Structure 1
Amino acid sequence: MPVGPSSLPPDRSGGAVNRTPHLQLTWSDEQTGAQGYLVIDRLLRGVASGGLRMRPGCTLAEVGELARTMTLKESLVHQPGDRYLPFGGAKGGIDFDPSSPDAPGVLTRFLGAVSPLIHTYWAVGEDLGTRQEAIDAAVAAAGLRSCVEPALRHVPDGPAAGLRRIDDAFAVRVDGLGLGDTVGGYGVAQAVLATLAETDEEPVGLTAVVQGFGSMGGSAARYLARAGLRVVGVVDRDGVVADPDGLDVETLLAHRSPEGLVDRDRLPSGARPLPRGEWLSVASDVLVTAAASYAVDDANEGDVRCGYLVEAANVSVLPSAEKALLERGVIVVPDFLANFAANSWWWWTLFGDIGADAGEALAKIDKTMWRLVQDVFAEVRATGLSPREVATRLAERHHARFRGLPG
Structure 2
Amino acid sequence: MKSLYAGPVFEMAREQFHVIADHLGIPQDDRDRLLYPKRAIVVSCPIHMDDGRQRVFVGYRVQHHLTLGPAKGGTRFAANVDIGEIAALAIWMSWKCALADLPYGGGKGGVAVDPHALSMRELENLSRRYMQEMIPFVGPRVDVMAPDMGTNEQVMAWFMDTYSMYQGITVPEIVTGKPVGTGGTLGRREATGHGVAFLSFRALEALDINPVGATAIVQGFGNVGTHAALGLAARGVKLVGVSDHTVAYHDPRGLEVRALVDHVEKNGVLLGWSNEAVIDPRSLLEQPCDVLAPCAVERVIDADVARRLNCRVIAEGANGPTTPEADRVLAERNDGIFVIPDILCNAGGVVVSYFEWVQDLQQYFWSKEEVMDRLERALDRSWSMVVARAKRDGVSNRTAAMAIGVERVRKAKQARGLFP
| CA deviations over 1:162-218 (Å, ceiling 9, x no partner) | x99884764x5xxxxxx3322221111111111222233332322110011122111
2:62 aligned counterpart, secondary structure: strand
- CA distance 1:282–1:390, shift in 2 (3 Å): same
- Structure-2 residue corresponding to 1:393: 403
Q: Which amino acid aligns with 2:93?
A: M
Give the match for residue 215 of structure 2: 207
2:136 aligns with 116
AA matched with 2:284: W
SS in 1 for 2:117: coil
| Other-structure match for 1:20 | 36
Give me the whole-angstrom Cα distance separating, in 2, the residues matched to 1:8 and 1:333: 18
Query: Which residue is equivalent to 1:339?
Result: 346
Structure 1 residue 232 displacement after superposition = 0.6
- Determine the C-alpha separation between the residues in 1 that align with 2:127 and 2:365: 31
Report if aligned partners of 1:122, 1:148 keep a CA contact under 8 Å in 2.
no
> Does the CA-based 8 Å contact 1:26-1:36 persist in structure 2?
yes
Which residue number corresponds to residue 196 of structure 1?
Answer: 204
Is 1:96 aligned to 2:119, yes or no? Answer: no
Aligned counterpart, 1:351: 358
Partner of 1:10: 14
Q: Map 1:22-101; keep pairs closer than 5 Å.
A: 22-29=38-45, 31-44=54-67, 46-78=69-101, 85-101=102-118
Per-residue deviation at 1:257? 2.5
* Partner of residue 162, structure 2: 141
Q: Which runs of 5+ in 2 are unaligned?
A: 1-5, 22-30, 47-53
User: In the aligned structure 2, how far is the partner of 1:139 from the partner of 1:384?
Assistant: 45
- Tell me by how many angstroms 1:303 deviates: 4.0
Whole-Å Cα distance in 2 between the matches of residues 279 and 10 of structure 1? Answer: 29
Partner Cα distance (1:276, 1:6) in 2: 25
Q: Unpaired runs of 5+ in structure 1?
A: 79-84, 152-162, 173-178
- CA deviation map 1:313-337 (0-9, x unaligned): 1122222222222322432211110
After TM superposition, the structure 1 stretch with the greater mean CA deviation from structure 2, 198-207 or 353-362, is: 353-362
CA distance in structure 2 between the partners assigned to 1:324 and 1:260 by the alignment = 36
**What's the TM-score once normalised by structure 1's chain length?**
0.82
Instruction: Give identity over the alignment, percent.
Output: 25
What aligned pairs does 1:365-376 form with structure 2 within 5 A after superposition?
A: 365-376=375-386
- TM-score, normalised to structure 2, is 0.79
- The number of residue pairs the alignment matches comes to 377
Query: Larger RCO: Structure 1 or Structure 2 (Cα < 8 Å, ≥ 6 residues apart)?
Result: 1
Q: Deviations over 1:49-78 (max 9, x none)?
A: 111011121121111111011111212113
Q: Supply the AA of the counterpart residue of 2:155.
A: A
Q: Which residue pairs with 1:154 in the alignment?
A: none
Structure 1 residues 166, 265: closer, same or farther in 2, change over 3 A?
A: closer
CA 1:242–1:340: 2 relative to 1, 3 Å: same
Secondary structure of 2:16's counterpart equals coil
1:312 and 2:317 matched: yes
Is the 2:20–2:402 Cα contact (8 Å) retained in structure 1?
Answer: no
Distance in 1 between the 2:175 and 2:160 partners? 13
Specify the SS of the correspondent of 2:253: coil
Are residues 301 and 346 of structure 1, via their aligned partners in 2, closer, same or farther at CA, if it must alter by over 3 Å?
Answer: same
Q: Give, in angstroms, the shift of residue 281 of structure 1.
A: 4.4
Choose 55-64 or 299-308, whichever is displaced more. 299-308
Would you say 1:384 and 2:388 are equivalent positions? no
Q: 256, 259, 265: which is aligned to 1:248? A: 256
Aligned equivalents of 2:7, 2:344: Cα separation in 1: 24
Task: Identify the residue that residue 372 of structure 2 maps to in structure 1.
Answer: 362
Match of residue 227, structure 1, among 217, 222, 235: 235
Q: Is the 8 A contact 1:233 1:241 kept in 2?
A: yes
| Structure 1 letter corresponding to 2:133 | A
Change (3 A) 1:373 1:39: same
